[in-house]
Amino acid sequence: MALAIPPDGTPPHAPAAALSRGHELTLAHRRASAPAARLAVVVVNFCQWRNTARLVQQLRRSAAVKTGVATIQVVDNGSPSHPLANRLARMRGVTVRKVNANLGFAAAVNRGCKLTTGPWVLLLNPDTTVTDGFLDDVLGLATRNDLPVDVGVVGFRLLNRDGTPQPSAGSFPSFGRTVAGLFLARARRKCDLNPGGDKRAVEWATGGCFLVRRECFEQLSGLDESFFLYYEDVDFCRRAADRGWRVWFDPALEVTHHWPLHARRVPPPLRLVTRHALLTYARRHWAAWQANLLSGAVWLEAGARELAATVRGETEAARCFGQLRRLVGDITSGRTREAAARIRYAAAFLHPIAAEQDGRTS
């Protein structure tokens, strides 16, 4: 496929440091004082203003937002300007923070959380939709007397667009599970289906709908910003478990997730990002020999895809897979600055990929 030229004019080869120094702009209007918030919702927007606006409107139908005990923080990760940004910022209970570069999901979440207060934080993807009163139910769960104090994360049931269950939690990825997952459908490679209607302990829950106790979040210094996109939720839950926190899956609350990764095409720049996330996770949590074997497999995969793209005359796709091969070497050798630059290279092409799903969550 041909890679689109980034609409913000950022050259694909721009170094990571130049992209991460972007200034921020808070869009908010002075409002009357409100009661102390108990729940902060953080939504990271990237080229999905219409989806984000629809989600915010749904969240605002909760009594929790109307009374001020829940607030909504939108962090825009370097999207092109859009009139919906100012419109959202004028809504009661909503604040918009714009950053003029794509810092990655983890970094944007961390910034959003620092701008909020309250003992609980709910992370929601913009391509999700919720029912009226959803935040009231979330608050009810968070304040229940039977919620143990060592539960740091709660994941909810995710549904596909057609109402069928969407895998949303699972066991920590290991080398064996990752290899075995190659023989499963994409939807089952990382997550379990989570059948049944009872809440239970799980090892990790997806960050697309992720309720976290602020004490747990701050103790772990938030999400690891080494992850640009994907696997930061798995890593967070693993680090939380190491600190004695538990992760629950509660299917009583449901969220529709319209465009999970396994249901979308994976263009070369997005594949570079997802492979970076998996390799980073492996280096953090697997034995060295396992991480090295995975690196070798990804290097071979990238080489085969680069050759195929070259034969098809897809020059830009071939160049991207060449970047992925070099990324494997950077990660293996600990060249973090070079690896970050290659991720920024891919990120410069993500605008049209993200925008494909905008306005399609109705």
pLDDT for the residue numbered 357 = 80
Distance CA 294, CA 179 (A): 9
Whether 180 shows a pLDDT value over 50: the answer reads: yes
Tell me the average pLDDT across 45-63. Answer: 96
Q: Where are the beta strands (DSSP E) in 126-170?
A: 128-129, 151-159, 165-166, 169-170
- Among left, alpha and beta (phi > 0; psi -120 to 50; other), residue 241 is alpha
Percent of the chain with pLDDT over 90: 72
pLDDT for the residue numbered 144 = 86
Cβ neighbour number for residue 29 with a 10 Å cutoff: 11
Mean pLDDT value across the chain: 87
pLDDT for the residue numbered 3 = 47
Tell me the average pLDDT across 134-155. Answer: 93
Whats the size of the chain, residue-wise?
362
Predicted confidence (pLDDT) per residue in 251-307, tens digit: 999 999 998 777 777 899 999 999 999 999 999 999 999 999 999 999 999 999 999
Angle formed by the axes of helices 336-347 and 315-333, to 10°? Answer: 150
Whether 185 shows a pLDDT value over 70: the answer reads: no
Tell me the average pLDDT across 346-353. Answer: 90
